[in-house]
Each structure stands twice: as C-alpha cells, then as structure tokens.
Amino acid sequence: MTAAPRRPRTETPPECPGRPDRPGHSGRSRHVPLYGPGLDGDGLPALYERLRAEHGPVAPVALAPGVHAWLVMGYEELLRVARRERDFSHDPRHWRLLREGRVPADSPLLAFVGWRPALMFADGRRHRRMRSAVADTLGRVDGGELGRLVRDTADRLIDAFAGRGEADLVPHYAHRLPARVVTRLLGADEPVSRKLAEAVAGTAAANADSVHAGRRLERVLLALVREKRRAPGPDVTSWLLTHPASLREEEVLHNLAVTVVAAHQTTKNWIATTLRLLLTDPALRSSLDGGYLTLDEALDLVLWRFPPTQNLPGRYALRDVRLGRREVRAGDMLVLGLAAAGRDPRVLPACGRPVTGNRAHVAFGAGPHACPAQAQARLIARTAVEVLRRRLPGLRLAVPEERLAWASSPWTRGLAALPVRLAP
C-alpha cells in the first residue's frame, strides 16, 4: 500500500463526497472511459501508463456512461484486493450502483458482473464449496488423454487449411481448438461446440448483444446438464453433477458457464498471441529454436506482457479502505487490472521486461479466486503451439506486423485476425 503524498491545505481531499473522481459521483467526472471504440490491444497499454502516471496504482475509470469504478493497476494493490475477502467481496450484490438501480438491466456489464450462483460470485464457505467441486472435477481430467485430444484436434484443424497456402490462425485454429477441446471435456458433440463457441464470443464482446449471448450460452449448457443427468458419462459435466459437494442444477449450470467462458477466451487469446510473437519477434523465435528458451517460458512471457485477460471485474469494497492514493468507499466496484499490474515498474527489473521463468504474474488472478484450470489451460496452449510449429515450420505473416489488429474489448486482449502464408 502506497503512502499518500502531502497535499496543499486548499486541495479537497479524495474522501470528500464533492470530489468528481469518487465512484458514483453525479457531477462532472474525471473518470477515464474503459468502453467505446479504440479500446484494443494497441491502445490499452499506453492508457494504463498514462493512468498510472496521473493517478498512481489505483485509477478512477468509467465502465459505461455514469458507471464508475476503480482500476487497480498496482501489483501489490491487486494482490491485496484479490486476497483479502474480509475487505473485498466477489458478490456483486454489494455494488452500490447496482443496489441503487443505476446500472441498466440491459447493460453489457451484467454479462460479466450480474450475480449468479457460481464460484466467481461467492465468498468464504460458499465459494470454497463450489470451487472444491470445480477443482476436483477438473483434476479428474487425465493429462495424457487431454494432450492426445489437443494433438488430434490440432492435426485435424491444420489438415483443413494446410493445402490452401494461407490461413487465418485466429478463426481457423486458435478459436476452434479450445472450443472443440473444452466441448469434448464437457461430454458434448460438435453441433454443441459450435453453439458454445458462438455464445462465448458474443458474451466476451462487451456489446449490446452480450447479455443475450450469455443467455444463449446458459440455454445450451442447461440442455447438456439435463442430458448428462439422464445419461452420465466420463466427462466434466457428469462428474460435477455427482460431486460430493452436491451442487444444485443451477449451480452446476452457472459454474460450467464460468468455466467455459474463461477456458475458451483465455486459451484462445493465449495461443494466438504466442503465435503472433513467434512470427514477429525473431529473437524470441531464435531462442526457442536454439533451445535457449523453453516453450513454457515463452508462454509465461506472453502472460506477463500480453495477458489474455486485460481486466477482471469485479470486487466490491465491504468497508471504507485506503488503497494506493485513493479512499475506496464501501460499495465501490474495483476492477483487477491484470495487464497493467504485469507492467508495474515496481516489480519489474530496470529494463522493464519480466525475467524468463518467472511465474509470479497475475494473468490467472490471485488469492482464493485464482483460476482453478491453469494447468489444463497451459497444456492446451503449449500443445497447440507445439503441433503448429512442427507441422508448419515455414509459417510467415501474410500482412505487415503493423496491420495486425486486436479485437476491441476492455476485458480481454485477443487478436482479431492473424493471417499467415504457409510454405509449399
């Protein structure tokens, strides 16, 4: 926690309700928008550094017009928020703006922060009960079998475009591979895979359709849950239904939804960004080819520099607390700035680049709510990159690097496209 600098006596202190940078203040706002056009992987890093220079490790932002929050960009501050449940809840029903009816019912934000009976929105004992069920269930997935599934899926996807001479590795590979793998783990078939992938993409888009896409996702998963209750199999859905924690049907549904969205979006972006770096960074590619860098180390560099999830909502202050230079009030929302925290100069070497092999990044969150599927996500991403490099060693970009575009989203960092040419 950073000590507050001295202020002239004439300056209004930040805890004063009249300051315009208080979340929820109705007057003229100094909150920087985290919505609208231009919020993509190219523009966000510069925005974070501008916010850090102006506000320190915690900055006032707007998630939508009139919907204010704190963006936690400091590494130490983020760990404090993520670890201290007695001060910061995961339950959005503590959010003052939501309680006061100041968040529209059709807001895209509710696709991410609307309360559901899932581990992502629970604290304490309720969270531990659901997390144990999800973690135990994922732990039953055999690593060897998962690796074979990923390799087989990767080979089939590559076979589909290898003879064309060109491909777009985002829709043709990075998007489809985790969608098909996760669907197989759930015990679903290919038509369900396509529906899930479409609904997940719509939910993560953070636009007017996000809420509707979230409902489509729930309908697909509800049908799957009820099918597995009638005819269980050796799959994640069936195991979650029969876990000793005895989750209710709606708890199984919503925990599956959280798992599917996180697994698909995170892994897709992780794969695509790693492939982009290997295609555009000759030094990184040479280090990997020469054995000076392992693929796992390259994957971790991606998690430090370009984490698949940029910002993770939300945490809700349970009491008034001082965080960084800010006075956070009970009921305020805080957003975990995972990407900004990974660039915090206080935890990086003087060169500003993370140390190879360092896994102290917060790309998967931290504390009791850290992602329970990290091992599975890493196995999928590593295998996907390995197979593509082995099968298509002569890959090269089909467009200049500066023309590569990121998808516009305040939450995730993913490429919109990665067009490549294949060697004959």
pLDDT score at 207: 63
Instruction: Give yes or no for residue 268 having a pLDDT over 90.
Output: yes
pLDDT at residue number 199:
80
Query: Residues 159-167: what's their mean pLDDT?
Result: 93
- Band the pLDDT of 215: cuts 50, 70, 90: confident
How high is the pLDDT of residue 208? 62
pLDDT given at position 20: 38
Question: For position 4, what pLDDT does the model report?
Answer: 39
Digit-coded pLDDT (tens) for 364-421: 999 999 999 999 999 999 999 999 999 999 899 999 999 998 887 788 888 999 999 9
How much is the average pLDDT of 277-297?
A: 93
Structure confidence at residue 212 (pLDDT)? 77
Average pLDDT over residues 207-212: 69
User: What's the predicted TM-score (pTM) here?
Assistant: 0.88
Mean pLDDT for 357-364 is 91
pLDDT at residue 217, as a whole number: 87
Q: Which region among 96-110, 198-212, 254-268, 338-352 has the lowest average model confidence (pLDDT)?
A: 198-212
**How do the residues of the chain divide into helix, strand and coil, expressed in percent and rounded to 5?**
50, 10, 40
Residue 10 pLDDT exceeds 80: no
More confident residue, 198 or 297: 297
Average pLDDT over residues 105-120: 89
The predicted model gives 172-188 an average pLDDT of 93
**Residue 108 has what pLDDT?**
83
pLDDT, tens digit, for every residue of 369-384?
999 999 999 999 999 9
- Mean pLDDT, to the nearest integer, of 108-135? 93
What confidence tens digit (pLDDT) does each residue in 19-66 have?
334 443 333 348 999 887 767 667 788 899 999 999 999 999 999 889
Residues 66-81: pLDDT tens digits?
999 999 999 999 999 9
Q: What percent of the chain has pLDDT over 90?
A: 68
Q: What is the pLDDT of residue 205?
A: 62
Identify the pLDDT of residue 350: 83
Task: Round the average pLDDT of the chain to a whole number and report it.
Answer: 88
Alpha carbon distance 393, 340 (integer Å): 33
Average pLDDT score over residue span 341-346:
94
